Structure 1
């Protein structure tokens, strides 16, 4: 048993509160169990408890064994002088306060509902499992599951928006500039996202604002800053970009990155950094104020249209500058655009509205429900366990569940775990 389980029982009043007696035989009536304290100090603050006929206001401390009071050196900490009741699973030693008075102690051993204890032990058994509740997951009430998934989705969105807030602060709340950084990063996918973010941050966004009206100049800026225009390649398009970049470099004092930061190895040609950079250039040439368009776009179909781009003719039969290839269109696929919606568009729009005190939860839920579910090993496992996965809203919520709760066995903080223990 873990101490957190006792916290859980006390917080949600899952004890027989009518018949509480201290280890010295005093009757205990709990009027207010206190506020759960997740920071340092006693576990529950501002409780009110009557012991015999005396009403006490103060804090509650919880341990598995009463001797933990001394093991944690609470007797030397003034923060624990206001503890009015010590709640323990097992009372193995008498505890004295700093004034040498005995600390009233409530022992729970043998007094916890057997069904609750069995359910807890079942959930936290040492049997090797993918997640603790995998055998019971499919039996969880649909209402509880749906409500919990919605909370998990917004929890994940909050986490993503906190990371974006840092970029926004650095950019002095220039949402267009931050959208550019996020888009560039996510165009790099997992393999190249850090290199792509460095590319986006290697020059001031104001430069892109000035040059995006001329497609070749815009491509020269992006490829030049990525270090892709440092070679001696004999084709007219490449030479033209080189000349344009050399001018930009002198004018704005630009320093290119080393192109070895970008990975091509074992990547599908359509995901080559050169193709993704060309698509970014085409996108920002097509849309002069992309963030304002992102704000007013609400359906997935409209986003697919927004991200339709046409690359310069050169890229029709090239994946890199040096080698010609079979002719093909390098469009942004629906699945790629969906990744951009999930990882860039929705978190940034969510933060934009939140910073203005506007909450449009249904907007984000509806958009996510229009997008097909993501495919990965975590989602496949949940499907195997009997969970219905219909859309990206489900997959994002389930990823949050697995990564934030299941991996750390935070079952007592999870609505599913709490439901299984109580029932």
Structure 2
């Protein structure tokens, strides 16, 4: 047995909460409980529970949840020898309280006393008075003894679920899948799409960033977005660099009508509009489309916005010159930004999305004029949601053919282009620039 980790050397006492102010640890507990259902995302819950919190508390809430989710496998391994969940309805709450305590004790800079005391108080405030002695004993024991685990077990093997490890190994091989896993547990940079792409270098200089080969401006993460120059004037919007690629791959924009299916929150719609296209954003969620409206208004761009299920649009829906389909998917390429995927997503849920993606592709065909381009993309690392979908679609639609993506279109970057001319971006790509989100993109042309 080998000790794997000591506690951080510099550790702070927990901040005192003003009387009557929400406790961010209690909000973190509520968030973990609600994530278990798999239907809501961490970002949605942070917007809900973090609304109105002072900046320091909001940042602590995000850090505590992100740390807990990224290290969840390790945390559960640390707890396993000392804690067996009770066989009653409080088990999930009690386990999540202990998880938050271990996250602070071993993976954050909270003082030992602060981590233990605040976790005991959290249990008391959550109505679990009879378990406070158990929590104190478990955390004090870990504080005193540290933790060990078997030689040869790596952090990523504990923190990445088995179904994901297995699927990545099958798709990419052992060495690359390990690198993907390790990169996925890191932190993402802050990427911006500039409304006037010809000024990207100027904006990068203003904000002490850099321009990626694909055209996005990249900044260090952790900066307050609303305080950055150009935000209030609508000169740019936040958009992951990989997600910003597909909308730049159409052969023409001026005077062209382009559908953006499953459009919310609107980053690609804004790109299409800024390039001169008549963009039509379609999404079935009125709430999410509200964000599209707000984003378009902030950046002073125009687009048609349609509420509707893209799998079941009316037969008389007008056709367009091009269609961009960013299909709903498991989002396993975005774990760096959304570590809740490690908890919410599973193989069964991923497979339940496959028929929806197929329906959307078939609907996109019905919306596209002959000679038009169809771009299909997902923020997933799973081949079933990317390469396999395109292979099946082409087999069922012989009137389509691939239009290979070229390095010239990506500023000379060819690392992610596969043999079929599709884009398969991995988190290990562009490592010198801080990595990328996992992404798949294919471009098809309707011949007849």
Please indicate, yes or no, whether the TM-score normalized by the shorter chain is above 0.5.
no
Which category of TM-score, normalised to the shorter sequence, fits these structures?
under 0.3
TM-score, normalised to structure 1's length? 0.23
Instruction: Choose 1 or 2 for highest CA Rg.
Output: 1
Q: Which of the two has greater helix per residue?
A: 1
